[in-house]
A = this chain, B = another copy of it.
Amino acid sequence: MNKTALRVGNATHASRIYEILRRDIVNGCFQAGEKIAINALKERYCVGLSPLREALNKLAAYGLLTQENQRGFRIPRLDRSELDDIAQMRRKLECMALEQAIRYGDAEWESELLAAAHRLRRANGEDVEHWEHTHGRFHQTLVASCGSAWLLRFIEQLHDQFDRYRRLAPENSSIREVLDAQHDELVELALKRDIKAASLLLENHIMLSHQVALGSCRS
């Protein structure tokens, strides 16, 4: 009846769809290389063409979709050398950010970091969706006080790219345990303001995650 009932809060359809699709793409709900069937999505998410196309265009600009000239949108293929690139960039940018974050982080940052780490520990064993969200928030908080909005923006973008690979890789519980332990160690070193050690540990953390994520592509 009332079409406005579709509106959640005061966000536009386009922005809602954008967020939903971003999550779904990162979570691997689509096949890599798959063509986006706009009409199907239209039905699935109960929106018109216009807001849907606007969301797809944004996702293409963000790098979570490819757009070929007159033949619509596609989920990007998984490519070993691109994953290597993403992981290496994560290593460099996140270490850079962490060093600055430790240098400039105040008491509020320390509190937020402890809170984020606690939430992450609690999320362990909970449903995957929730853990993923909490995990992303943890890494975001870790570098949040670096002082550079653009650096944070790039890091978030790389995280989305990286997670798309990682989520498609098979589980490895032994490595996963190590990674989990590293989260707490990172907090410890950050609070001790040990820049060198924290940076080295984060580097190792990302390289280990890279090993895991490699399981998603054959080549």
- Interface set of A (CB-CB < 8 Å, partner B): 10-12, 14-15, 50, 53-55, 57-63, 69-70, 82, 85-86, 88-89, 92, 96, 147-151, 153-154, 158, 161
Cβ contacts under 8 Å, A59 to chain B: 61
**A53-B50, A61-B62 are contacts. A12–B69 as well, Cβ < 8 Å?**
yes
* List of B residues within 8 angstroms of A85 by Cβ: 147-151
Number of copies of this kind of chain in the complex: 2
A101, chain B: closest CB distance, angstroms = 15
Is the CB–CB distance between B14 and A57 below 8 Å?
yes
Looking at chain A's contact residues, is the secondary structure mostly helix, strand, loop, or mixed? helix
- Tell me if A148 and B89 are in contact (CB < 8 A): yes
Chain B residue with the shortest CB-CB distance to A90:
B150
**Residues in B whose Cβ lies below 8 Å from that of A53:** 50, 54
Question: Among the listed B10, B70, B148, which residue makes an inter-chain contact with A10, where contact means beta carbons less than 8 Å apart?
Answer: B70
CB-CB nearest in chain B for A58: B61
Specify the chain B residue showing the minimal Cβ separation from A161.
B150
Residues of chain B with a CB closer than 8 A to A92's CB? 96
With the chains together, A72 CA to B131 CA distance in Å?
Answer: 35
Tell whether, in the assembled complex, residue A149 and residue B61 are in contact, meaning their CB atoms are under 8 Å apart.
no
Residue of B whose beta carbon sits closest to that of A59:
B61
Residues of B within 8 A of A54 (CB): 53-54, 57
Evaluate contact between A12 and B86: CB separation under 8 angstroms. no
A125 CB to closest chain B CB (Å) equals 33
Task: Name the B residues within 8 Å of A58 (CB-CB).
Answer: 57-58, 60-61
